[in-house]
Amino acid sequence: MKEFISVNNKHAAPYEFYAHGFEPNSEIPARVSEIERVLIEQKVGELIYPDKFSQVPRELLEKIHDPAYVAFILESAKREQREIPENKYRYPTSFPYRRSNRVPNNDVGALGYYSIDTYTPVHEDLTDAALVSASGAYSAAVDILHGGNTSYSIGRPPGHHAGYDYMGGYCYFNNAMVAVETLREKGKVAILDVDFHHGNGTHDILDMQRMIDVADPDLMFPYFSGKKRMFEKPECFNYPLPLGVTNEQYDAILQRTLRRINDFNPYSLVVSIGYDTYKDDPIGGFQLTTDYYERMARQIMELKKPTVFIQEGGYNVAAIGHNARSFIKGTE
Ligand code: Q9C
Ligand code: ZN
């Protein structure tokens, strides 16, 4: 398997803004550099770095996101700000009222308009980081188009909370959808989202594609989900799980999910993989163990589809390398 690695260490906000104030940010460069360290140490895979990535075409980003949102990330993130003096991590703080379609002509307003939360700051080096991460996903998918069987984009920022015209949950461009859009020319694509959190952004961008997602937005971020719309869309299945689920409980749902994907009979599969389902994740709440990730991957591989894995969450830095190593073992 080829691993497309992007640490993006200039995108490193020290804080996220959570409910009552600033807290240390969980989405940090060490998440990826620690995976990289373990893979190198254990001589695993074929690591490919950004200088060898194919850059994601802007037109592709504009197919999955609102072109005005793409311009917001690619251009206004870098531009000097009228309202905010220091061009460093800027947090959205003012959000549109329901159904407002008017983009504010104001930097503070635009930040809120294109966001769903205060965990997703924008700064001058964000554009490059978001592009490189999306390009890792693109390159991983292109590798499948060229005949590869599995590839894994191990990048950050993650993507599955980024919707058609918004960032959120540490995510800016929806990397999984970049891979889906790239693979689509070859046939039906299924998406399996096994991050701890609900992939609201992927769901928002999808229209008639089948989506399977295991999480419970009633309990945890992003709190709001497409649940209602989801029930109207027979192609989309969501299995909300309670906090504290064990390997065995999780596995029963995974098996059911994989059977549905098998029935759908896609040409290829995109997997949003998050290790925030790990038992000691600082912001998750499941009980999965390091060994379980190998079993998870092995079962996904039994579908026998060309598969692109996309890194989403996972915030226990001491464990993330071993969890990724275990997962990759299951694909071998
Ligand atoms: N202080 C992904 O896993 N809320 N995003 C955290 C903890 C945001 C998670 C609050 C969680 C976003 C890709
Ligand atoms: Zn997550």
Determine the Cα–Cα distance for residues 200 and 221; give it in Å rounded to an integer: 10
C-beta pairs of 206-210 under 8 Å, 24+ apart in sequence: 206/177, 206/236, 208/233, 208/235, 209/180, 209/235, 209/236, 210/235, 210/236, 210/237, 210/261, 210/264, 210/266
Please give the number of the atom of ligand 1 that sits closest to the Cα of 197.
3
Residue 282 burial by CB count (10 A; 0-12/13-18/19+): exposed, middle or buried?
Answer: exposed
Distance CA 6, CA 78 (A): 20
- For 152, phi then psi, to 5°, come to -140, 120
Closest approach atom of ligand 1 to CA 16: 1
110 three-state secondary structure: helix
pLDDT in tens, 224-264: 655 444 444 446 778 888 899 999 999 999 999 999 999 98
Residue 221 Cα to ligand 1 midpoint, Å, equals 6
Closest atom of ligand 1 to 168 CA is 12
Q: How far apart, in whole angstroms, are the C-alpha atoms of residue 160 and residue 309?
A: 12
Decide: 169 in ligand 1 pocket, CB within 6 A: yes
Residue from 154, 161, 174, 213 whose mutation best tests the ligand 1 pocket (most atoms within 8 A of CB) = 161
CB 193 less than 6 A from any atom of ligand 1: no
pLDDT tens across the length of the chain (332 residues) = 999 999 999 999 999 999 899 999 999 999 999 999 999 999 999 999 999 999 999 999 999 999 999 999 999 888 888 888 776 899 999 888 766 778 888 999 999 999 999 999 999 999 999 999 999 999 999 999 999 999 999 999 999 999 999 999 999 999 999 999 999 999 989 999 999 999 989 988 875 344 455 556 666 777 665 544 444 444 677 888 889 999 999 999 999 999 999 998 999 999 999 999 999 999 999 999 999 999 999 999 999 999 999 999 999 999 999 999 999 999 99
Instruction: Name the β-bridge partners of 90.
Output: 122
- Whose CA is closest to atom 13 on ligand 1? 313
In terms of Cα–Cα distance, which of 89, 97, 80 is closest to 118?
89
Q: Whose CA is nearest to atom 4 of ligand 1?
A: 221
Q: Where are the alpha helices (DSSP H) in 126-174?
A: 126-145
What spacing in Å lies between the alpha carbon of 67 and ligand 1's midpoint?
Answer: 26
Q: Residue 193 in contact with residue 272, Cβ under 8 Å?
A: yes
State how far the alpha carbon of 325 is from the alpha carbons of 44, 148, 180, 183, in Å: 8, 20, 24, 26
Ligand of minimum distance to the alpha carbon of 223: 1
Residue with CA nearest ligand 1 atom 2: 313
Q: Which two tokens stand for residue 284?
A: 């998750």
What whole-number distance in Å separates Cα of residue 137 and Cα of residue 269?
Answer: 13
What is the H or E stretch that residue 211 is in?
Answer: strand 211-213
Compute the distance from residue 51 Cα to the ligand 2 centre, in Å.
27
Q: In the chain, where does DSSP find H-type helix? A: 30-41, 58-64, 67-71, 107-113, 126-145, 175-183, 200-205, 227-232, 247-264, 290-301, 317-329
Catalytic residue annotation = 161
* Burial of 134 (C-beta count, 10 Å sphere; 0-12/13-18/19+): buried
**Residue nearest atom 10 in ligand 1 by C-alpha distance:** 18
From the CA of 109, how far away is ligand 1's center (Å)? Answer: 23
For ligand 1, whether the C-beta of 119 sits within 6 Å is: yes
> 155: which strand partners?
6
For residues 79 and 134, what is the distance between their CA atoms, to the nearest angstrom? 21
Residue closest by Cα to atom 3 of ligand 1: 313
CA dihedral 65, 66, 70, 73 (to 10 degrees): -100
Match 């229209």 to its residue by tokens. Answer: 207
Which string of DSSP letters, residue by residue, matches 163-184? BTTBBBTTBSS-HHHHHHHHHG
Residue 278 CB–ligand 1 contact under 6 Å: no
